[in-house]
Amino acid sequence: MELEQAIYWIAGGVGVPVIQWLKKRLDMSGKAALWLTVGVSVAVAVGALYFSDGVAVADMTPAGILAVFGQVLAAATIAYQALVAD
């Protein structure tokens, strides 16, 4: 696995505790929690895309952001399932 791909998986793994903390702090559940998860995942994906290979904000394309969002969301889902299983 290349470093660029690892950044996305690490970002997804880091996003899970942040989402859990925000859900508890804001007392969210249901659709609100789902939208919170999507929002945090998008923010983490954009951050991961920016920090991988030093991509400039102007160079970010919708396709690239969606691809990274998918990877971050997949990693967050796997990390969340691992936490729930424990």
Q: Is this structure's pTM higher than 0.75? A: no
Per residue in 13-25, pLDDT tens?
777 788 888 989 9
Question: Whole-number mean pLDDT of the chain?
Answer: 74
**Do 69 and 8 touch, CB atoms closer than 8 A?**
no
Nearest Cα neighbor of 45 from 21, 65, 59 is 65
Report percent pLDDT > 70 for the chain. Answer: 65
CB-based contacts of 49, cutoff 8 Å, min separation 6: 55, 60, 64, 65, 68
